[in-house]
Structures are given as structure tokens and as C-alpha cells.
Amino acid sequence: MKISGQCLCGTVRYRGETEPQFQGKCYCTDCRKTSAAGHAAMMGFAADAIRITGELKEFHSKADSGASVTRAFCPTCGTGICSRNDRMPGLIFLRASTLDDPGLFAPQMIVWAARAPAWDPVNPGVPAFAERPTGM
């Protein structure tokens, strides 16, 4: 799969030709806040298969799972581009909302479904975990 995307202002871009290792939606508090929506939609790829151009600013935090998460965003327009989780080394999680072709995103799972707000319900057709799968 050819993958590409960019931030709102176009300063940060990414490209790759690889298959996602997984695609999912997360309703955890951090993802809701950083996405400014009811959930964050993301695709996990081998980090070395994705090339990002442009300057990124990073924010580090401890997730509800206890993992250390680094979220990267465009310092000009604020668009969240990607994140990394210390419990999943070698992976980069691209925000599906930044895809040039949003039709490439097809969620395979939902995590932290118990935290979904009533106004952004969990799709019953996608496997969901109340919190997170073991090991994440």
C-alpha cells in the first residue's frame, strides 16, 4: 500500500510503501484530548517504512496503560501526525485523519471502548476492548 499524508498547513508530510500492521480507534482520555474528538483513529506501521519530512514538535506523557507515549505534531498548525509507544518499539502510529486518501483507513479494533462518549459511539461491527488488549 502506498501511504501519504500531511498536516493542515502542509509543512509536515509523510510517505511510505508498506502495509499497516494494524488499524484502530482509541477512546482513551489522552487520545480524545489530543485529537479534539471522541476518539483517535490510527494506523500502526514499521517505523523504518515511513519517511516524515518537516519539523515535528513532541509531547511526552504516561498513558493510562502505564506506557510512555510520544506524540508528534506540526509546530505551525498543531496537527497531530504520529505517536510512538515504548511498549511497541519499532512502530509508528500515523493519525488516519492526516491521510491524503482517508479511504485507506479500515479499523480492525477499538481500544478503551468503555470511555467512548455517548456522542461518538463505538461501531458494533468492529472488535472492541473495554480497555486495552493484554500486552499493549
Q: Which residues pair with 69 in a beta bridge?
A: 61, 85
48: Cβ–Cβ under 8 A, 6 or more apart, which residues?
A: 90
127 falls within a domain: no
Q: State the pTM of this model.
A: 0.91
- Which residue range(s) make up the domain with 85? 2-115
CATH code for the domain in which residue 48 is found:
3.90.1590.10
pLDDT tens digits, residue range 26-68? 999 999 999 999 999 999 999 999 999 999 999 999 987 788 9
pLDDT band at 135 (very low <50, low <70, confident <90, very high): low
77 falls within a domain: yes
126 falls within a domain: no
Closest by CA to 71, choosing from 51, 80, 2, is 80
> Does residue 102 sit in helix, strand or coil?
helix
Q: What is the count of structural domains for the chain?
A: 1
125 falls within a domain: no
